[in-house]
Structure 1
Amino acid sequence: MSSDLFSPAPAHGPASRIRVGIGGWNFAPWRNNFYPTGLLQRRELEYASRHLRAIEINGTYYGAQKPATYAKWASETPDGFVFSLKAPRYVTESKRLADAGRGIDGFVFGGLAEFGDRLGPVLWQFTPSRAFDPDDLAAFLDLLPRELNGHPMRHVLEVRHSSFLHEHYVELARSYGIPTVFTDSPQYPSLADLTGGFAYARLMRSESHLDTGYATADLDTWSSRARAWSEGIDLPELPHMATPRESQAKRDVFVYFISSAKERNPAAAMALQQRVDAAG
């Protein structure tokens, strides 16, 4: 295994609160690209988790895994590493979110505790067809567990219908203290209003012809944005549905490079994390 690993995360300052990662770790084009030639597939998570500080698991969107699987994944990663998990679509595609309590509890209490301190935010991604229904959404948010084995849980919403692009949604999300994904995508509506205690971005514009997926200037910009978010600074240059807030409490930041030119995403994530750390 390569010894060219990230140094431990800084103990203090904005960089210590920022994690940059990718979606998943099993992707054939990453072999002989991100992963070195000859690396066994069963060691890909071990390798990826030592070059990145977070991974968003997409597989749980299609169905919860066994507790033993979660425990195995956690055991293959180093101290300080975290997973974000996409919640199962059978929950977020429920006709009425208010009726999803059994599915929510089955997923959360069905084994997520096996991640231990590797458990990061749970991402609840709504389909592009789900419009903003404030009463139904509020009932859903009331159902989300606040703790797991005595430890606070972190939840984040990804909304994909244009009806969420309204200050009433922002007000509701803020009343529950739940963050909203900033989705940097040409396909989906996006908002950067800080609505919870951490920031979460999913970047979807990597390009195949760039070795690092994003141009140098764009990586520099995202490094500055991530650091600003970590200091509690709302970014007025990004799309907002409500008036950007004044500087708030410091917060954790999660940035994932997702989809688009997926083969470039590990390089993009490492390049951004290195910028964040160097500026720390």
Structure 2
Amino acid sequence: MGTITIGISGWRYEPWRGAFYPPGLVQARELDYASRFLPTIEINGSFYSLQRPGSYAAWYAATPPGFVFAVKGNRFLTHMLKLRGIETPLANVLASGVFALREKLGPFLWQFPPQLRFDPDKVERFLSLLPRDTGQALAIARGHDDKMIGRSLLEIDAVRPLRHAIEIRHASFLDDAFIALLRKYNVALVVADTAGKFPDVEDVTADFVYVRLHGEHELYASGYEDESLERWARRIRAWSAGSQPEDARLVSPHAPAPARAGGRDVYCYFDNDIKVRAPFDAKRLMELLDLAWKPEA
């Protein structure tokens, strides 16, 4: 079996205060609290703007050993530039401080906008630019532009593998050619439950699986009852064991490459934050999978 890591998308939400976070907990301690409740969190702020090295260093310091961050790629590349001319913006993202997460740096999530259609050449160019380890990422980061001067981090503590996942939101990506490109570059297709609003497919395209649960009936709002969570637990067990669910919703007729002997790692993030369901749904799914998170500090 691969490693299964369950968590939430973001942690700074006003409705969570007094509901998930204890009354009176200061905002500066919210990440500390959330990271001891669950073992992984997606950083959402990096999607909206470039963060600073000091922020990443503070997030590293606030979380216990063994914790993992997923980093959401900046929307300037995906939503504004729509994958055109992204070499320097990608360097800026990598120079912005992500290396301060050190061993807690998990997968990068790249969310495509609903208006972005599948263009094989453009998509392959993007996939070919994504760094496969922190050494490659550092080399790319050194190509940042002048606006990063004085606010970049250009050193790594070790060369570690990097993983990337792509979340699609346009039906034109339901194409075997897209699945083949993801497999060529070992990039995961995000399994996204979006209450039927966006494509919902489960092709395994990498040596890991990335799941985002945005709400079963209402996007970003509705929770998951035990029956649904048990269904997701069965699917996660299958992916972790290196196989796939028998009723998997697939685009490609071609089977993925066999998993390595240890199975496939699975990352799963709940993004149904509006009604304060995400952290509790994540914890319940961990219970159904017999997972425990007991950080040392």
* Class of the TM-score when normalised by the shorter of the 2 chains: 0.7 to 0.9
| Residues in 2 aligned to 1:107 and 1:98: alpha-carbon distance in whole angstroms | 15
Q: Which residue of 1 aligns with 2:96?
A: 110
Pair 165,229 (structure 1): closer, same or farther in 2 beyond 3 Å: same
Q: Which residue of 2 aligns with 1:68?
A: 54
SS in 2 for 1:56: strand
Shift of residue 117 of structure 1?
0.9
Q: Which residue of 1 aligns with 2:190?
A: 181
Q: Which residue of 1 aligns with 2:279?
A: 266
Amino acid at match of 1:86: K
Shift of residue 245 of structure 1?
2.8
Q: Which residue of 2 aligns with 1:4?
A: none
Q: Which residue of 1 aligns with 2:24?
A: 38
SS in 1 for 2:122: helix
1:123 to 105, 109, 115: 109
Shift of residue 93 of structure 1?
2.2
Asked whether the equivalents of residues 206 and 261 of structure 1 are also in contact (C-alpha less than 8 Å), the reply is no
Shift of residue 207 of structure 1?
6.7
Asked whether the equivalents of residues 55 and 83 of structure 1 are also in contact (C-alpha less than 8 Å), the reply is yes
Pair 142,81 (structure 1): closer, same or farther in 2 beyond 3 Å: same
Shift of residue 276 of structure 1?
1.3
SS in 1 for 2:289: helix
| Residues in 1 aligned to 2:62 and 2:202: alpha-carbon distance in whole angstroms | 34
Deviates more, 1:194-203 or 1:145-154: 145-154
Amino acid at match of 2:228: D
Pair 88,278 (structure 1): closer, same or farther in 2 beyond 3 Å: closer
Pair 218,155 (structure 1): closer, same or farther in 2 beyond 3 Å: same
2:226 to 169, 194, 216: 216
Asked whether the equivalents of residues 181 and 200 of structure 1 are also in contact (C-alpha less than 8 Å), the reply is yes
| Residues in 2 aligned to 1:49 and 1:33: alpha-carbon distance in whole angstroms | 16
Question: Map of 1:1-280 to 2, 5 A cutoff?
Answer: 13-14=1-2, 17-95=3-81, 97-148=83-134, 149=156, 150-185=159-194, 186-206=196-216, 213-243=223-253, 245=255, 248-249=259-260, 250-259=263-272, 261-277=274-290
> Scaled by the length of structure 2, what TM-score is found?
0.83
| Residues in 2 aligned to 1:278 and 1:109: alpha-carbon distance in whole angstroms | 35
| Residues in 1 aligned to 2:275 and 2:172: alpha-carbon distance in whole angstroms | 29
SS in 2 for 1:151: coil
| Residues in 2 aligned to 1:40 and 1:95: alpha-carbon distance in whole angstroms | 37
| Residues in 2 aligned to 1:241 and 1:23: alpha-carbon distance in whole angstroms | 26
| Residues in 1 aligned to 2:291 and 2:178: alpha-carbon distance in whole angstroms | 36
Asked whether the equivalents of residues 271 and 278 of structure 2 are also in contact (C-alpha less than 8 Å), the reply is yes
Q: Could you list the per-position Cα deviations for residues 60-94 of structure 1 after superposition, in whole angstroms to 9, with x for gaps in the alignment?
A: 11111110100000110011111111111111124
Shift of residue 160 of structure 1?
0.8
Pair 44,260 (structure 1): closer, same or farther in 2 beyond 3 Å: closer
RMSD across aligned positions (CA)? 2.0
> Scaled by the length of structure 1, what TM-score is found?
0.88
Structure 1: stretches of 5+ with no match in the other structure: 1-12
Amino acid at match of 2:259: Q
Among the aligned pairs, what percent are the same residue? 40
Asked whether the equivalents of residues 98 and 139 of structure 1 are also in contact (C-alpha less than 8 Å), the reply is no
Deviates more, 1:179-188 or 1:89-98: 89-98
Asked whether the equivalents of residues 230 and 253 of structure 1 are also in contact (C-alpha less than 8 Å), the reply is yes
Amino acid at match of 2:63: T
Residues matched between the structures, number: 262
SS in 1 for 2:42: strand
Q: Which residue of 2 aligns with 1:7?
A: none
Amino acid at match of 1:55: I
| Residues in 2 aligned to 1:107 and 1:35: alpha-carbon distance in whole angstroms | 30
Pair 190,153 (structure 1): closer, same or farther in 2 beyond 3 Å: same
Structure 2: stretches of 5+ with no match in the other structure: 135-155, 293-297
SS in 2 for 1:263: coil
SS in 2 for 1:127: coil
Deviates more, 1:189-198 or 1:236-245: 236-245
| Residues in 1 aligned to 2:65 and 2:253: alpha-carbon distance in whole angstroms | 38
